[in-house]
Structure 1
Amino acid sequence: MRICFLNPFGTDKYDGIIKEVLSSSLRDGTELEVWHLTDGPRNLDYFAPKQVVQVEILKAAKAAEEAGFDAFVIGCLYDPALTEVRELVNIPVIGPLESSAALARMFGHRYAIVTDHHKAVPEIKDRIRIYGSDANCLSVESVGWFVDDMIEDPMSVADETYQHVQDIMSRTGAETVLIGCTIVSACYELAYLRGNKKLGELSVINPNLIAVKTAEMFADMNKAGQYRISRAGYYQNLQDHDPVEAADVAPYFQTKLPVIAERTK
């Protein structure tokens, strides 16, 4: 099984940490390739650059499908371009927020989200509402870090996130906490793997791992002929509606393969 995990950033700065925190949790036979974007903005913290990034995500997803990957993970808690990518390609496409919110009840009755910075809070609240999970989400708050700074001091990010998780549980009654963005969660898990075992005492949801494990499951389902995504409406492909128009727009989604920064089995 081959899974492509796309860091939707125009930099390779975050590829290594994602590989390190996920490699030990892959099942035998799963190959994970961590990609990053080679065109477009470095980050998608703000709405305007995110629109440019989403176009590049579409191109990367198409490239991954053509390269024979069994599933595609969009490695950002915004789930950028998730609906659009599912419309475009036929392999399973997983968003970390959608998959984690869907499974949150299995970790605790109600949950909270600790994200990276203030700009992310309303964006994630909006997405949780779209996913129909807002009734069980008690709060969305930020730990106060931007992604460029996190990678320079992941241990401090992990420690501050641990403190914030304890605080939000105490104040809201949340039984479990979804840690996002994906890089905040990666910092947290990196600190845990490197010996800070107190971090494992709290009920936290790791969206990177949830997304990859969901990708493994859906890839299995697809191979068994059980990934029966509806193309009747929401995810209808343009090809089914107008093949001529689909051929006209297809060149917009073609690109060279993104840099394969890290590969692990």
Structure 2
Amino acid sequence: MSARYARRADPHMRLCFLNPFGTPAYDQLIREVLEPTLRTGTSLEIRHLDTRPENIDYFAAKHLVETDIMKAGLQAERDGFDAFIIGCCYDPALTQTRELLSIPVVGPLEASTAFARPFGHRYAIVTDHHKAVPELEDRLRVYGQDANCRAVTSVGWFVDKMILDTAAVAEDAYQASRKVMAETGAETVIIGCTIVSACFEKAALTDPRLQQLSVINPNLIAVKQAEVLAELAAQGQYRISRTAYYQPLSAHDPAQDEELRTVLTTAASPGTEASE
């Protein structure tokens, strides 16, 4: 067997899912809804940031947290993971981390919008609160995925309150999804907050109403894209272009790249494993 395909003999795949919030509060919820969906041989480790600010719904705070996401991504690569998932639909630091890492890096919104068409021709996004709506609209334009998006709306919850009543969040997401589909003609809905989606999927395990609605779970889509890209990488088929958009600093100035990586790795990694 050639070295190019040597990994095929080992079906085990390790994925790192980072909750980019400075709290472990959401780790168990994400684990509950994702672990049953994994392929045989795939292991998923949930990590969170151990930094402040905890809330990344505001641009200044998110900008600070993005540095710690890059640090956590570099740590995940050093720890031997096959792919790194940034568990927030803002896709914070996605481009920067993808530029830095050799392993695949996945953002839930990018993955979900790219995969929406098999679920329905026209889609809508139901996010968490009013602050996120324009942010996701901007993301759609960057990704070139806005043409078939009929609306971006919200359920009116901030992330730090969701864990206190996941059933209420799920019900609000269900009602908001039905409403936007009826009003806009959207055929499917991306529940475009990872925590809102996790609340919805947890409730859907026992609620047939939720099971019948065409929704896209960005947590699941991100994990499935990570599995596919990691498998492609193992086969030598993940040939990310490094000529322009994702060209690393090392291609321009290796000394500056080394300096950058030193800055991002000298401090202890903010990525913290979730407790079982």
- TM-score where L is the length of structure 1: 0.97
The structure-2 alpha-carbon separation of the partners of 1:80 and 1:122, relative to structure 1 and needing over 3 Å to count, comes to same
Which of residues 87, 104, 107 in structure 2 aligns to 1:92?
104
Match of 2:223 among 212, 230, 236: 212
Give the Å deviation of 1:125: 0.2
Q: Which sections of structure 1, spanning at least 5 residues, go unmatched?
A: none
1:188 maps to 2:200: yes
Within-5 A mapping of 1:33-112: 33-112=45-124
User: Secondary structure in 1 aligned to 2:117?
Assistant: helix
Match of 1:125 in 2: 137
**For 1:26, which of 38, 41, 49 is the aligned residue?**
38
How many aligned residue pairs are there?
Answer: 262
| Equivalent position of 1:259 in the other structure | 272
Structure 2: distance between partners of 1:226 and 1:105: 24
**Counterparts of 1:156-175 in structure 2 under 5 Å?**
156-175=168-187
SS of 1:134's partner is coil
- Percent of aligned positions that are identical: 60
C-alpha distance in 1 between matches for 2:208 and 2:227: 27
Residue among 238, 254, 263 paired with 2:249: 238
Match of 1:10 among 15, 22, 28: 22
Moved more, 39-48 or 208-217: 39-48
Following TM superposition, the consecutive aligned residue runs of length 4 or more in structure 1 with deviations greater than 2 angstroms are 255-258
SS of 1:4's equivalent? strand
Q: Give the TM-score normalised by the residue count of structure 2.
A: 0.93
- Closer, same or farther in 2 for the Cα pair 1:109/1:262, shift >3 Å? farther
Out of 206, 225, 228, the residue aligned to residue 239 of structure 2 is 228
In 2, Cα distance between equivalents of 1:152 and 1:239: 45
Of 242-251 and 135-144, more deviation after overlay is shown by: 242-251
Q: How far apart are 1:40 and its partner, in Å?
A: 2.6
Separation in 1 of the partners of 2:173 and 2:260?
Answer: 43
Question: Aligned-residue CA RMSD in angstroms?
Answer: 0.9
1:141 aligns with 2:153: yes
Distance 1:40 1:80 in 2: 15
Post-superposition CA distance 1:53-90 (Å, at most 9, x none): 10000000000000000000000000000000011111
SS of aligned partner of 2:242: coil
SS class of match (1:31): strand
